[in-house]
Structure 1
Amino acid sequence: MDSQILLNVNFCSEVHTNLIEKNEKSVYVRAGYSLGGLRIVPQENAGICVICMDGHIKRVYPGELEAAVCIEESCSFISVEQDLGFGRETLDTQDMRLLEKLLTADHAFTGNGAEDPIESATEEITEHIEKCGSLWQRNGMADSDIVKQADVIYAAKGKISISELAEQMGCTVRHVHRRFVEELGVSPKRFARIVRIRETVRKMLEHPGGHVTDYMDDMGYSDQAHFQREFKWYTGMTPGSLLKILGDRAER
């Protein structure tokens, strides 16, 4: 999965990440802080990011975001990202309280005797998620056919039309759309767009020296205005702005 819902996670002051694999499913737990804020991008599946800013807690559900959300002040955060096998399941209220407790001023992130408080918080929430029976129960899992269809989109890096997907799966476009919304809470078209934008960002992070059109062509965008508009909608910045940030970092 490695969805990286926090686009700016690469620029955060410190981040710890744990991967939990259980019952053929996986969950990423990330905890960290950023002096320059966060940019949380839409996600194609369930997950949550809990953010603490000056003692105030904010919850963001990336699977419900229509566009990028920017947190422009220093903050600490914990994110829990489930793979598609969980369907529309996310954490319940009790789990939220634990995440919020870990971010409050008197707990792990500001010193509880641990040598590395962020790592301590990551380990604590990881242990809790592993034992969270309500999250891993079978009746909360997505339909296997939907997971297979999602895998086709991932394999195509989002560069696939819904009619092509329906043809490959031997069903109608209407059926694909209905089942995606029922199981995952998002349309297959939006799912594919998010995957394609994420793959574009990943290419920029791995190979930051190119021109905007290089990434546009490589990811199958035929119209530069459309590419610029869609990229900014889902990430909160233009592709040129991200490349400039990456270029400035490389020169330091």
Structure 2
Amino acid sequence: MSEQEVTYSTVRFHKSAGLQKQVRPEETKGPREAGYRIFQYGQQKKLQEILNHHNNCSNMQSDINLKDEQLKNKSIECNLLESLNRDKNRLYNKTKTVLDSLQHTGRGDKVYWFCYGMKCYYFVMDRKPWIRCKQTCQNSSFSLLKIDNEDELKFLQLVVPSDSCWIGLSYDNKKKDWAWIDNHPSKLALNTMKYNIRDGGCMFLSKTRLDNNYCDQSLICICGRRLDKFPH
């Protein structure tokens, strides 16, 4: 066949009866089912909003309860603090009355005193041997000072006079150890091994150290007493 003798044919395709009858599944859904779905979605959304609102209310109520509890605790703390302050002031006034009366007994000792925390300190400035300091404190309803802990020691070293002062710690020959005036232990950690009994059996306090000396030496006396130990 030559190039000029090309024949074109037209092919036609006819839709079969089966294809004509096929319909998409979506086309069978009517407006009623679509409306139901919209209604169902709206109900779920509304229910979720109600649940969220309920959760928010529950959280707010929890916050309110927590704040009420905190306010209640604060109120209790304030009442307790006021009660403690009243007791402290009452004890302080009683202490001041006792100490003021001691200063006018005609005993001739020059003294000064102050209270700090729950303890009052009574300084007898007239120098005495350790045993006489002990007696002077007892006559004033005090005792030679017992230092309860490291914090009290640091505080006292800031306020003591420049001279050394006897305190209520001495060597017990029976126990072969250092003992406080009340025979009870203290939380103050002392390396008693460094104190040689040959240098003296009574302890004194200065601005720089605790040390031992001969008990017959005359030093300032420090007496002490807790506020809650004064008569009511």
- Larger RCO: Structure 1 or Structure 2 (Cα < 8 Å, ≥ 6 residues apart)? 2
Which of the pair has more CA radius of gyration? Answer: 2
